[in-house]
Amino acid sequence: MSNVIPLHGDPHETAQRLLPWYVTGTLDAAEHRLVEDHLAHCAECAADLAGEERLRAEVAALPDAPPERPAAQWELLRERALASAASSRRGTSWWSALPTGRRIALAAASQAALVLLGIGVYDRLRQPAGGDYHTLSAPSAKGEQGGNIIVIFRPDSPEQAFRATIDAVGARLVDGPTAAGAYVLAVPNGRREAALATLRKRADIVLAQPIDGERAE
């Protein structure tokens, strides 16, 4: 995503084109300011803003056709998912390559992984042992940082390879692995985007995501 906003051109025209997203509050700070500044001294845009707010409210309030039997829809999808999982087991995915006993163990362990990731890690990251509560994105007093990236390595990647990968992006291993091969890494916040970009390019990584809800730039 580009951080450079083209500010060339007529500010009136720019404001006109950005108004819908100004109304929904989805512009970035610079664009928001640009529209706001223009609205202060353009009567036409100020009048359009009122109409725009009204239009948004009317569209958002339009009645929705209720979905047909949502429970039945899920049952349908569930059957498809089960059938597809069964047939992919005969295929060549890493999952299907495992012996049946191991697969069952892994499925059970992934429940445990949720406990680790969903409750254990998040709570620990949000409330470090030090005691005082702070959110992940806030730097801690000691300069120590909690995990802010989750990565999943290919199940067949050798341990030295992923150690090297973690070192290459200047990350620290905070937690993992879970049954599904997920690790929680910590990188300094300013370098997180660069680290994520590098991680996603590595062949031994299948997923790399920020985990504290901070929006990626």
Partner 1 sequence: MSGDRQARFEQGTWSDEPALLVRVRAHDLAAFERLYRRYHPRLSRFVTSLVRRHGLVEEVVNDTMMVLWDKPESFGGNSKLSTWLFAIAYRKAVKARMRDDEPVADEEAAERADDDAAPPDRDFGRQRTAAILQGAIGELSPDHRAVVHLTYFQEIGYREIADILGCPVDTVKTRMFHARRHLRRKLSGELADWI
Kindly list the residues in this chain that would bind partner 1 in the complex (CB under 8 A).
1, 16-18, 20-21, 24-27, 47, 51-52, 54-56, 58-65, 67-68, 70, 73-74, 76-78, 80-82, 84-85, 88, 95, 106-107, 110-111, 113-114, 117-118, 122, 150, 152, 178-180, 182, 196, 200, 206-211, 213-216
Contact, 152 vs 180, CB < 8 A? yes
Q: Which does 45 bind (CB under 5 to 8 A by kind): Zn ion, partner 1, none?
A: Zn ion
- Cβ at position 116, least distance to partner 1 in Å: 9
Instruction: Give the H/E segment covering residue 201.
Output: helix 192-201
Q: Say whether residue 42 binds Zn ion (CB under 5 A).
A: yes
Q: Is 18 in the site for Zn ion (CB under 5 A)?
A: no
The pairing of strands 172-175 and 205-210 is: unpaired
Minimum Å distance from CB 131 to partner 1?
Answer: 21
Least gap, CB of 180 to partner 1 (angstroms): 5
Q: How far is the CB of 140 from partner 1 (least distance, A)?
A: 18
- Residue from 5, 7, 12, 156 touching Zn ion (CB under 5 A): that is 12
For residue 42, the 8-state DSSP code is -
Q: Which stretch binds Zn ion (CB under 5 A): 25-33, 35-43, 136-144, 198-206?
A: 35-43
28: CB partners within 8 A, 6+ apart: 5
Residue 130: name its binding partner from Zn ion, partner 1, none (Cβ under 5 to 8 Å by kind): none
Give the number of residues in contact with Zn ion, rule: CB under 5 A.
3
For Zn ion, the closer of residues 46 and 107 by Cβ is: 46
> What residues form DSSP beta bridges with 172?
186
Q: Are residues 211 and 124 in contact, defined by beta-carbon separation less than 8 angstroms?
A: no
**Residue whose structure tokens are 């990565």:** 151
Instruction: Give the C-alpha separation, 170 to 196, whole Å.
Output: 11
Q: Which is nearer to partner 1, 110 or 189 (CB)?
A: 110
Name which of 19 and 143 has its Cβ closer to partner 1: 19
Rg (CA), the chain: 24
What are the start-end ranges of the E strands in the chain? 149-153, 172-175, 182-186, 205-210
Token digits of residue 102: 């191991």
User: Residue 14 belongs to what H/E stretch?
Assistant: helix 11-23
